A and B are shown apart, each in its own frame.
Chain A
Amino acid sequence: MLSTLLSQIVNGLVTGALIGLIALGYTMVYGIIQLINFAHGEIFMIGSYGGLAMFTYLLPTAIQNQWYFALPLLLIAGAAVSVGVAVLMERFAYRPLRNAPRLAPLITALGVSVALQEAVRVFYPGATAALPFPKAFVEGTWEIPVPGGTVPLRWTGLLIIVVALVLTFALNTFVNNSRMGRAMRATSQDRDVARLMGIDPDRVIVLTFVLGAALAGVAGVLNGVDLGFTNIDLGFQNGIFAFTAAVLGGIGSIKGAVAGGFAIGLVKALGGQYLPGGTAYDYVWIFVVLIAVLVFRPQGFFGETERVRA
């Protein structure tokens, strides 16, 4: 059925846009310090709680129902909280291990991930269970007519796709054209030479974490707005998917991360629909893709074949 196929593609694109936003953080951090920042998924989750806290505790009731005021504030709050946590995490967990052997930061990242998730569960009021998230956007669905039916697209889903594309474009421009962006690229290629050129690698690395976390925070709030709830489990699964997307697209590549996100979204949606086992195994297909990519094309779609790594 055409409408089912197209619907699944639309679902895949919405999921993919969200995952792509998270994947940008993975890809930038990995590109610059070769760290799989496992805790990045939790940064995404914390972003949603940041937005929720803004709405619950700070936002005046008068503008709670006017999404064009509320949504930007939620996005800012979510991004701010994510950035704050990420900066602390970089400073106190990762920076001391900058020169440690490669397994150490990865294990630290696992620890940070567990600790962040638990910290929210223990300290955020009511976070032991899923919490309702304000629907701070136009509710409802755009029914796109196609031959033989319609394809539903939530307005919030459309919002996610648009925001993801806009932010990716902005980020790409920043990295390629700005002075700081050049510094980032230089640092990712050779930290020591970059230092000789007068770049402060610490500042660049912090900036990388800040950018990635801000995007994840935005994604967290958008996800909450789209789904109408948030919970502390969000981070792990989406984080792994996002990492897969980053690898798929070629780690270090901004376009690749978003393309990888869309690919993962489509695998999940179409795999659940058409592959044997149905939705019970959609999750498995993503991991199969992950393994296959890592084994057979570890440089991903957009990765450089002979990447010189710092």
Chain B
Amino acid sequence: MTRRRTIITAAILAGTLGLTACGTNREEGEGEGGGGTTAGACDTSKGTLIIGMVAPLSGGLSALGLGMRNSAQLAVDQANEACKVPGYELAFQAEDDQANPQVAGQAATKLASDENVVGVIGTLNSSTSQTVQPILKQEGIVQVSPANTGPALTLGENYATAPARPFDNYFRVSTTDLVQGPFAANYLVETAGKKAIAVIDDGKTYGANLAEQFAQQAQKKGAQIVAREKVGERDTDFSGVITTIRALNPDAVYYGGEYPVAGPLSAQLAAAGLNIPLMGGDGIVDATYVSLGGRPGDLATSVGAPAESLPSAKQFLDDYAAKNFTEEYSTYGALTYDATNVVIEALAKALANGDYSAERRADIVAAVQETNLQGASGEISFDEFGDTTNKVLTVYQVEGDSFAPVEGSTGAFEG
């Protein structure tokens, strides 16, 4: 009885599979040889070069990491279509670092041991970058991070007193906390006129440092930091923190951290009767911030001039949408796209006179240093430490259900 049923089931299953699933994804018009998968007519006779990425593709931070992966993929695909690097096909290889420094080191070693890796994009977390930097340095591979904000990565541990660049192959298109925090403080204290500010962070590298730099500058500008609190990474109900600061009557809250906490935090502030604006860094500038509870009037800073004023930014958003990725580009999408293009441009420049070999990686690093690119986040070039010279930031304010740039707020931080 059971056996017969099994046989019948199996037969039906096999039949259905045979009838419905006998397709293939064979791409038409494909040539016989050498795995040329792009249909474009580029000359790829000299082989394949790899642009690597180290980012968290699994686990809790994967939303950000997968957005980075897709954005870099987009840049690489476009470069292949446009034959940006004559003679070569570019390939993109993303490695998961699980947001764990040790695994990041492993991933970086894997990329570093491949002769054809010309550059690495990433990482997301500053702590993972700390292990990736020396490994890539050994092989002279250029690293461009779209998301690291820890000042020590480019300026050395004594960044405040005696800045010294520890790794000459490391660059970033993101601004450091040293710029973004104080910029926000200047705006909030001087322009918005807030004098009693509660500072909250999530205890992670990005948030804690940003909040720290903000607090220092805000005090310098004469504001009072009425509270300095932390929320847990996994916390969802912030009423404890909110009650603590409510008693201190702040007129604004600065939050160092990312949108998944910032949105709900803002909503819960309002629910507790604190109708004061929440301000954050570029980590909270996300399409879902408002749907997660962000309120009109909330503020954020973001790198570069407003996207609407830059055709390149608009172009990125459209191209990303056209690719139909399953994941959002998320916070670091545009910066990752730029970081990837920095490497591609440098590669094209370095290979303009001669073929690629591992010895030519130094030329790529040199070319990255000389970058001058109009990216989705604005003008990109690097200073002597490998930091972006684009220290222009813009203040955004929630209007309706999205962030809109505040008129006249775009500017560079001048101390």
Query: Which of under 10, 10 to 19, 20 to 34, or 35 or more describes the interface residues of A?
Result: 35 or more
Query: In the bound complex, do residue A8 and residue B240 qualify as a contact, i.e. CB atoms below 8 Å apart?
Result: yes
In the assembly, what is the distance between CA of A150 and CA of B237, in Å?
20
A-B contact pairs, 20 of them (CB 8 A): A3-B247, A4-B244, A4-B247, A7-B246, A7-B247, A15-B239, A128-B63, A130-B263, A132-B292, A132-B293, A152-B272, A154-B271, A223-B236, A229-B292, A232-B60, A233-B233, A273-B240, A273-B244, A279-B231, A279-B241
Question: A229-B293, A273-B244, A279-B229 are known contacts. Are A129 and B273 too (CB-CB below 8 A)?
Answer: no
User: Interface code A99-137, partner B: CB below 8 Å = 1, 0 otherwise?
Assistant: 000000000000000000000010000001110100000
Query: In the bound complex, do residue B246 and residue A4 qualify as a contact, i.e. CB atoms below 8 Å apart?
Result: yes
Chain B's nearest CB lies how many Å from the CB of A116? 15
Contact of A283 among B232, B239, B246 (CB under 8 A): B232
Kindly list chain B residues whose C-beta atoms are within 8 Å of the C-beta of A130.
260, 263-264, 288, 292
Highest count of chain B CB atoms <10 Å: which of A11, A15, A140, A269:
A11
User: Is A282 interfacial (CB 8 A cutoff)?
Assistant: yes
User: Interface code B269-295, partner A: CB below 8 Å = 1, 0 otherwise?
Assistant: 001110000000000000010011100
In the assembly, what is the distance between CA of A130 and CA of B235, in Å?
12
Query: In the bound complex, do residue A129 and residue B260 qualify as a contact, i.e. CB atoms below 8 Å apart?
Result: yes
In the assembly, what is the distance between CA of A40 and CA of B292, in Å?
25
User: Is A143 interfacial (CB 8 A cutoff)?
Assistant: yes
Query: Which of under 10, 10 to 19, 20 to 34, or 35 or more describes the interface residues of B?
Result: 35 or more
Query: In the bound complex, do residue A132 and residue B232 qualify as a contact, i.e. CB atoms below 8 Å apart?
Result: no
User: Is B84 interfacial (CB 8 A cutoff)?
Assistant: no
Query: In the bound complex, do residue B240 and residue A11 qualify as a contact, i.e. CB atoms below 8 Å apart?
Result: yes
| A1-47 CB contacts (< 8 Å) to partner B | 1, 3-4, 7-8, 11, 14-15
Kindly list chain B residues whose C-beta atoms are within 8 Å of the C-beta of A154.
271-272
Kindly list chain A residues whose C-beta atoms are within 8 Å of the C-beta of B293.
132, 228-229
Query: In the bound complex, do residue A272 and residue B241 qualify as a contact, i.e. CB atoms below 8 Å apart?
Result: yes
Kindly list chain B residues whose C-beta atoms are within 8 Å of the C-beta of A121.
62
Query: In the bound complex, do residue B243 and residue A278 qualify as a contact, i.e. CB atoms below 8 Å apart?
Result: no
Query: In the bound complex, do residue B271 and residue A128 qualify as a contact, i.e. CB atoms below 8 Å apart?
Result: no
User: Interface code A222-236, partner B: CB below 8 Å = 1, 0 otherwise?
Assistant: 010011110111101
Kindly list chain B residues whose C-beta atoms are within 8 Å of the C-beta of A255.
none
Instruction: List 17 extra interface pairs beyond A4-B243, A7-B272, A237-B234, CB under 8 A.
Output: A4-B247, A8-B244, A11-B239, A14-B237, A121-B62, A128-B62, A129-B328, A130-B260, A130-B292, A154-B271, A227-B268, A228-B264, A228-B293, A269-B240, A279-B229, A282-B232, A282-B240
